[in-house]
């Protein structure tokens, strides 16, 4: 398993720094991302047990950069530099190469070459390392609201916790004023931005998570009483999930139906995307559009379709749905409004409320299928 890649952008030019950030996110490599004005100011944040990649602008301070790079290389094990400037002079390149192999890229940055270099470095530097506790991220999504994302996230997370009693399972609600806390009748004292800030400062997510009842299920969500609108940046999404992966075996993410930078980041890092659909035309049209979009950004392979609220006597069968969407359905969850609503109203999961129901049996099956998909 892989070691964590820490990327440091050292560039005083804000536009160029933002461009690097967006290209790094687009690369899809798993990493934490930090920005500093100078190499020296980044030193306290270098982790000797991780792989550290520096995107370093040297324009106008080539000589001091050489000295700083040397200090870092002497003090830390796994460091790599991509050196950049509008004017990379040959004699400077030769001096840089004297000590170790570095990569150079002239500004303006050619996007595709830059992404290719980052991918190559990430692959090489992290692949031969064993990174224990590499938890799996499962994102539950539909590009139309109200299809059952929260119901599925909560009940799947609980079932995974029941099936894996010696592991820790997390559920993360990425929705502003999301419903996970209502479904589980829990009131976390900390909101997600606070949690991310603490993780950034080295505090373990376990110390600030809220635990659901007596289960090994940990909840990361805003309190239902905190009316804060928050927008978690793609960079913080990386930080949060890389940190959670170290602790939790499965991390289930309930994400909003809106596709934005942080949603895209979750899609990129997810090991499995559960895309919810229903057997009716408007929803199928939406799901089809989403699958086409996923195809364009290479997400289809890790996407599994879930058919929610299906009924055997529906005019539109599971087979019809698969034909329309040109993709197999992982499994179906039956339409059982009464059980679902009663369990929510009592602040219980379906398994706790009524384990005798067909819908609960479907959740047991779903958890098994998900575990099977992720165990390779
Ligand atoms: N299998 C099911 N059978 C019957 N009703 C269901 C089923 N799954 C979910 N529901 C109901 O569908 C409604 C929407 O569910 P839920 O809140 O989980 O959707 P959502 O996708 O999270 O919505 P939002 O986009 O608003 O966050 C709820 O009333 C829930 O009780
Ligand atoms: Mg919801």
Domain co-membership, 358 together with 275: yes
Position 168 pLDDT exceeds 50 = yes
Domain co-membership, 97 together with 227: no
Where is pLDDT greater, at 166 or 180? 180
Q: Ligand 1 within 6 A of 68 CB?
A: no
Strands 217-220 and 210-211: antiparallel
Return the closest-CA partner of residue 245 out of 27, 22, 24, 32: 32
Query: What's the CATH code of the domain at 101?
Result: 3.40.50.2300
- Please give the share of the chain, as a percent, with pLDDT higher than 90: 59
Strands 250-254 and 210-211: unpaired
> If you take atom 16 of ligand 1, which residue's CA is the nearest one?
148
The DSSP-derived string for 62-130 is HHHHHHHHHHHHHH-SSEEEEEEES---HHHHHHHHHHS--EEEESSP-HHHHHHHHHHHHHHHHHTS-
End-of-domain residue from the set 101, 127, 153: 127
End-of-domain residue from the set 80, 106, 127: 127
* Prior bond of 143 cis (ω within 30°): no
Domain co-membership, 101 together with 175: no
Ligand nearest to the CA of 363: 1
Does the pTM surpass 0.75? The reply is no
> How far is the C-alpha of 196 from the C-alpha of 242, rounded, in Å?
11
Query: What pLDDT score does 159 carry?
Result: 96
In whole numbers, what is the pLDDT of the chain averaged over residues?
A: 89
2 phi/psi in degrees, rounded to 5 = -90, 155
Domain co-membership, 222 together with 292: yes
Q: For residue range 102-133, what is the model confidence (pLDDT) as tens digits?
A: 888 999 999 998 998 888 888 777 754 333 45
Domain that residue 147 falls in? 136-374
Domain co-membership, 112 together with 242: no
Q: Ligand 1 within 6 A of 103 CB?
A: no
Q: Ligand 1 within 6 A of 179 CB?
A: yes
Domain co-membership, 100 together with 210: no
Domain co-membership, 230 together with 331: yes
Alpha carbon separation from 38 to 7, 17, 24, 42, 106 (Å, rounded): 14, 12, 19, 7, 19
Q: Ligand 1 within 6 A of 168 CB?
A: no
Domain co-membership, 212 together with 277: yes
Domain co-membership, 87 together with 110: yes
End-of-domain residue from the set 127, 160, 176: 127
Which of 47-51, 111-115, 129-133, 343-347 is predicted most confidently?
A: 343-347
Q: Which residues 6+ apart lie within 8 Å of 354 measured at CB?
A: 339, 342, 343, 360
Q: How many domains does the chain divide into? A: 2
Query: What's the CATH code of the domain at 190?
Result: 3.40.50.300
Q: For residue range 278-296, what is the model confidence (pLDDT) as tens digits?
A: 999 999 999 999 999 999 9
> How far is the C-alpha of 230 from the C-alpha of 221, rounded, in Å?
11
Domain co-membership, 43 together with 16: yes
């Amino acid at each position: 398993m892989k070691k964590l890649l820490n990327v440091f952008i050292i560039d005083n030019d804000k536009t160029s720094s933002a461009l690097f950030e967006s290209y790094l996110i687009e690369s899809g490599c798993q990493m934490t991302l930090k920005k500093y004005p100078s190499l020296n100011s980044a030193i306290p944040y270098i982790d000797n047990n991780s792989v550290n990649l520096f995107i370093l602008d040297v324009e106008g301070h080539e000589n001091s950069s050489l000295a700083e790079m040397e200090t870092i290389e002497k003090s830390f094990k796994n460091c790599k530099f991509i050196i950049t400037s509008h004017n990379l002079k040959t004699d400077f390149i030769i001096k840089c190469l004297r000590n170790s192999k570095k990569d150079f890229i002239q500004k303006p940055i050619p996007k595709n070459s830059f992404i290719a270099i980052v991918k190559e470095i990430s692959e090489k530097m992290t692949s031969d390392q064993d990174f224990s506790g590499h938890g799996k991220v499962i994102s539950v999504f539909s590009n139309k609201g109200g299809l059952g994302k929260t119901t599925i996230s909560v009940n799947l997370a609980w079932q995974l916790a029941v099936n894996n009693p010696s592991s820790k399972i997390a559920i993360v609600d990425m929705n502003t004023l999301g419903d996970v806390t209502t479904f589980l009748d829990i009131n976390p004292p900390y909101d997600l931005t606070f949690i991310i800030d603490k993780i950034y400062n080295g505090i373990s997510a376990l110390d600030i998570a809220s635990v659901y009842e007596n289960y090994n299920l940990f909840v990361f969500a805003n309190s239902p009483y905190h009316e804060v609108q928050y927008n978690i940046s793609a960079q913080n999404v990386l930080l949060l999930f890389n940190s959670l992966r170290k602790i939790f075996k499965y991390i289930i993410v309930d994400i909003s139906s809106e596709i934005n930078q942080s949603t895209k980041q979750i899609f990129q890092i997810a090991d499995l995307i559960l895309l919810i659909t229903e057997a009716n035309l408007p929803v199928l049209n939406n799901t089809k559009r989403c699958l086409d979009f996923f195809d364009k950004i290479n997400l289809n392979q890790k996407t599994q379709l879930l058919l929610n609220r299906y009924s055997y006597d529906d005019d539109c069968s599971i087979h019809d749905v698969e034909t329309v969407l040109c993709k197999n359905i992982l499994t179906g969850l039956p339409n059982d409004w009464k059980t679902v609503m009663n369990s929510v109203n009592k602040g219980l999961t379906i398994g706790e409320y009524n384990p005798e129901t067909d819908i609960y049996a479907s959740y047991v099956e779903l958890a098994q299928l998900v575990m099977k998909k992720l165990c390779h």
